[in-house]
């Protein structure tokens, strides 16, 4: 089996010096491969390694995404059986969503591998995640973007388009709606039978929405709701291309009429006056709509239903950076491209 290993840095490739964690300049790929060979001497894998860049993932930028994307586009099924990308945990969900949407379709599996602690740490899951990625490529090989991660139970495989951000303190990952794609037990993949988990055919199926070129870098302002949010501080001397505003778990935000500075509706109306598109997420289409949500919808705010805020943000980045035609842009935003929609 042949696997292309692309290194980008992250916790899986760092060293600890005087209690400070920073990028290790070399040795990551050799250490990973040596530990893999020791853990799985039964598997014969040829790793072809390449360092794209060496960066902590909190420092990832749009240009880093472009480097990863451009490299993957040069790799085909005749070159290898799968691709493993080492990546930090902080922005892992965003990169996973971006590649899921941009690489649809793809003819080989792409797995982003990270670690909760440096690889030499006694509680590190980096090697487990790496072994899980290899097992998935060897035993399943579904074409798409996936993230293996061990939270202490059987190693789980998450669909890249549904991965949520890691939780602080526990450093654990989960998938949209709690529905992960599957688990690896004793090297064998077991797909999650939940009805909202897409089948391999759904994941590999081509979608009619094609992205004309690599997206230009655009500004999507991403805000979150909190009690006492004061929108009067925004004057937009430098206007964003669009706004994504998060919602509480029930698909709501403040629409109070007592004070305009706290109302998302009044804020959205100000944005509309300045020709700034306004979106909100997440929104569960199967859950009854509250009166506050109804007020937002009637004001013209666009609800991005049944996807995570991570996927919504990335879709808007791609849509506004790729499509000038409004119909094509909305088609991309609203359609299910890479199984990012929880309900199908």
Does 55 share its domain with 156?
Answer: yes
Does 77 share its domain with 177?
Answer: yes
More confident position, 235 or 308: 308
* pLDDT class of 21 with cuts at 50, 70, 90: very low
Could you tell me if residue 153 is inside a domain?
yes
Does 267 share its domain with 124?
Answer: no
Could you tell me if residue 215 is inside a domain?
no
Could you tell me if residue 108 is inside a domain?
yes
Does 27 share its domain with 120?
Answer: yes
Could you tell me if residue 214 is inside a domain?
no
Could you tell me if residue 210 is inside a domain?
no
Q: Please answer whether residues 278 and 272 qualify as being in contact, where contact means their C-beta atoms are separated by less than 8 angstroms.
A: yes
Give the lowest-confidence range in 39-53, 76-90, 112-126, 311-325: 112-126
pLDDT at 143: 95
Q: Please answer whether residues 155 and 184 qualify as being in contact, where contact means their C-beta atoms are separated by less than 8 angstroms.
A: yes
pLDDT digits (tens, 9 = 90+) for 91-142: 999 999 999 999 988 999 999 999 988 777 888 888 999 999 999 999 998 9
Does 72 share its domain with 182?
Answer: yes
Does 235 share its domain with 106?
Answer: no
List the alpha helices (DSSP H) in 122-212. Answer: 126-139, 200-204
pLDDT at 23: 54
More confident position, 207 or 113: 113
Could you tell me if residue 274 is inside a domain?
yes
CA–chain centroid gap for 135, Å, is 21
150, 169, 204: which is the final residue of a domain? 204
Does 264 share its domain with 139?
Answer: no
pLDDT at 32: 85
More confident position, 318 or 27: 318
Looking at residue 258, which CATH number applies to its domain? 3.40.50.40
Could you tell me if residue 343 is inside a domain?
no
Whether the pLDDT of residue 187 is over 90: the answer is no
pTM here is: 0.94
List the alpha helices (DSSP H) in 73-226. Answer: 92-102, 126-139, 200-204
Looking at residue 121, which CATH number applies to its domain? 3.40.50.1170
Does 270 share its domain with 165?
Answer: no
Does 317 share its domain with 274?
Answer: yes
Structural domain boundaries, residue 224:
220-334
Does 196 share its domain with 225?
Answer: no
Tell me phi and psi for residue 224, to 5 degrees: -125, 150
204, 236, 255: which is the final residue of a domain? 204
What b/e readout covers 1-23, taking b as 16+ CB neighbours within 10 angstroms? eebbbbbbbbbbbbeeeeeeeeb
Number of domains in the chain: 2
Give the lowest-confidence range in 172-186, 207-221, 268-282, 291-305: 207-221
Could you tell me if residue 340 is inside a domain?
no
Does 99 share its domain with 194?
Answer: yes
Does 180 share its domain with 312?
Answer: no
In three-state secondary structure terms, 172 is coil
């Amino acid at each position: 089996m042949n696997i292309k290993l692309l290194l980008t840095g992250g916790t899986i490739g760092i060293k600890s010096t005087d209690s400070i964690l920073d990028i290790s300049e070399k040795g990551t790929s050799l250490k990973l491969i040596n530990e893999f060979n020791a853990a799985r001497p039964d598997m014969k894998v040829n790793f072809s390694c390449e360092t794209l860049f060496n960066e902590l993932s909190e420092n990832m930028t749009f240009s880093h995404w472009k480097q990863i994307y451009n490299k993957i586009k040069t790799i085909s099924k005749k070159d290898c059986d799968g691709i493993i990308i080492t990546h930090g945990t902080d922005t892992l969900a965003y990169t996973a969503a971006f590649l899921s949407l941009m690489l649809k379709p793809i003819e080989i599996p792409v797995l982003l591998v990270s670690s909760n602690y440096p690889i030499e740490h006694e509680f590190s899951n980096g090697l487990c995640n790496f072994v899980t990625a290899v097992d998935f490529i060897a035993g399943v090989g579904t074409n798409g973007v996936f993230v293996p991660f061990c939270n202490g139970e059987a190693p789980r495989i998450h669909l890249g388009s549904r991965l949520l951000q890691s939780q602080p303190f526990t450093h654990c990952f989960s998938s949209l709606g709690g529905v992960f794609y599957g688990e690896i037990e004793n090297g064998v993949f077991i797909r999650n039978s939940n009805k909202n988990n897409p089948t391999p055919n759904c994941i590999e199926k081509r979608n009619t929405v094609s992205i004309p070129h690599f997206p230009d870098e655009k500004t999507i302002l991403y805000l979150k709701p909190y009690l006492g949010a004061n929108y009067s501080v925004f004057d937009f001397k430098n206007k964003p291309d669009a706004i994504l505003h998060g919602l509480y778990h029930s698909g709501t935000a403040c629409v109070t009429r007592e004070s305009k500075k706290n109302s998302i509706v009044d804020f959205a109306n100000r944005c509309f006056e300045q020709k700034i598109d306004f979106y909100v997420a997440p929104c569960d289409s199967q859950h009854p709509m509250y009166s506050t949500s109804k007020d937002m919808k009637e004001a013209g705010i666009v609800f991005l239903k049944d996807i995570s805020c991570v996927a919504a943000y990335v879709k808007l980045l791609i849509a506004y950076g790729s499509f000038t035609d409004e119909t094509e842009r909305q088609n991309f935003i609203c359609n299910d491209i890479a199984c990012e929609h929880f309900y199908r």
